[in-house]
Amino acid sequence: MRQFFPLRAALVTSVAGAVLLSGGLTGCESAPRQTTGTGQQSTARPAPSSGTAPEPTSTTAQPTLDTRCGSPRASYAPGPGALPAPGKMPRGSTMEQIQRRGRLVAGVSADTLLFGYRNPISGQIEGFDVDLLKAVSRAIFGDGRAIQYRVLPSDERIPVLKSGEVDIVAATLTATCERWRQISFSSVYFEAGQRVLVAKGSTVKNLSQMAGQKVCVTRTSTSLKTLGAHPRIEVVQVAHLSDCLALFQQGKVDGVTSDDTVLAGFVAQDPHAVVIGPKMTEEPYALGMSAKQKDLVGFVNAVLEQVREDGTWKASYRRWIGDRLNTAGAGGTTGTPTPPQPLYGR
């Protein structure tokens, strides 16, 4: 059985990426050159990170990750006794404030099938990300239901943490150096990668072959930056992930680019779609928290360690993801998955 997202390979790739792309794709904000859309969708061209990147001739390049802040995967190590008994949070800590409030305020996605979505039958928000939040809630309150969900479009995930409107964000959030400058991340709990979704039967094999076509992406997502290297693709930006699937189904865009996890959820909802091409990026998912609340980050990391060790992570993986990444054509694993090991040292 092969290892699931091996840490060593990821680190090697990260270092290689830093060398290859220093001053390139790394850590630069995607500034749209033009915006012509109205309402919830807009067509905008994300600028390449520096200058005009040439159209890639090959998509087999190794996925890369900005490492100018060290490894974006590295978080704060949980200290000794970082996981007190539920309901007995340390005096003066962020966790005690949350405990006194009586609920954990969490930012989530409500339309990312598998990770965070509103179940239309029950009306409840469910998914892999939500299971992690429940574990954090259980660790603070002894009750996994003491959560106030705040549904966020992708472009609000960072601002609500900076403004302190939510305690934590669990919404397929990639840990990047650029974001580390604004918020803090937990240790990585899932390794995803950006890919492309097209209609089944399409002759397109990768993003490079989509010149002149419309590709949907969520605003301010890490996926948007990749499109900066493909200036001939017409980029359609939306606020919500599911808007991309709706536009794809309505024939208003030719493809969607996002994380393979998200696209697998799309394929589960639309059997006429397929995920193609290799992973173009590394997207290490971590829980986002305020940069000022390092004690909460250490606490959450302790919870995540417990989740990795007691089988909660695997159970959650089997329940929500299983072999859906494979079914979607998005790769992944078929056996018992292994959670990414935590990396500390920040």
Partner 1 sequence: MRTYLSSTPGRLRTGAVLCAVTALFFGGAGFLSFQVRSQAQAEAHHQTEQAVGFQEILTQVLQADARSTNTYLRGGLEPVGQRADHDAALSDLSRGLVEACGNDAAARERLAEVNASLTLYTEASATARANNRQGFPVASAYLRQASEHLRKGIAPELEALAASETGRSDDSFEQARWSSRLFLLFGLTALGVLLCFQWRLARSSHRVLNLPMLVATLGVLTALGGGTAMMTLAQQKLDDLHEGSYSATIALSRARVAGFDAKALESLILIARGGADEDESRFDQRMDQIEQSLTEANRAGTLSDADPVAEWLAVHERIRTLDRAGDWDAAVELAATDSSTGAESAFLRFSQSVGSELSGESARMSSQFRDAESGLDLAGAGVLLSGILAGGFAWWGFSLRREEYR
Cβ 150 to partner 1 shortest distance, Å: 4
| Strand residue runs (E) in 221-316 | 234-238, 255-259, 273-276, 283-285, 288-290
User: Smaller CB distance to partner 1: residue 74 or 241?
Assistant: 241
3-state class (DSSP) for residue 183? strand
- Residue 215 beta carbon to partner 1: minimum distance, rounded to whole angstroms: 17
Nearer to partner 1, 152 or 304 (CB): 152
Burial per residue of 251-272, b for 16 or more beta-carbon CB atoms within 10 angstroms, e otherwise: eebbbbbbbbbbbbbbbeeeee
Distance CA 77, CA 187 (A): 9
> Which of residues 53 and 151 has its CB atom nearest to partner 1 in the complex?
151
Q: In terms of C-beta density within 10 A (0-12 exposed, 13-18 middle, 19 or more buried), how is residue 273 classed?
A: buried
Query: For residues 231 and 322, which CB has a smaller minimum distance to partner 1 in the complex?
Result: 322
Toward partner 1, which CB reaches closer, 74 or 108? 108
Does residue 143 contact residue 137 with C-beta atoms inside 8 Å? yes
Closest distance between partner 1 and the C-beta of residue 269, in Å? 4
Instruction: Give residues in contact with partner 1 (CB under 8 A).
Output: 39-40, 102-103, 105, 110-113, 117-125, 147-153, 156, 240, 242-243, 245-246, 249, 265-266, 269-270
Strand partners, 235: 215
Rounded to a whole number of angstroms, the minimum distance from the CB of residue 112 to partner 1 is 8
Q: By C-beta, is 266 or 317 nearer to partner 1?
A: 266
Strands (E) across the chain are located at 32-35, 41-46, 74-75, 104-108, 111-112, 116-118, 125-126, 147-151, 168-170, 183-185, 190-192, 194-199, 214-218, 234-238, 255-259, 273-276, 283-285, 288-290, 343-344
Structure-token pair, residue 140: 């603070």
State how far the Cα of 188 lies from the Cα of 173, in Å rounded to an integer: 10
* Cβ at position 211, least distance to partner 1 in Å: 27
C-alpha 116/C-alpha 208 separation (Å) is 30
Shortest Cβ distance from residue 268 to partner 1 (Å)? 8
Taking the complex as a whole, the smallest distance from the CB of residue 158 to partner 1 amounts, in Å, to 15
Nearer to partner 1, 6 or 159 (CB): 159
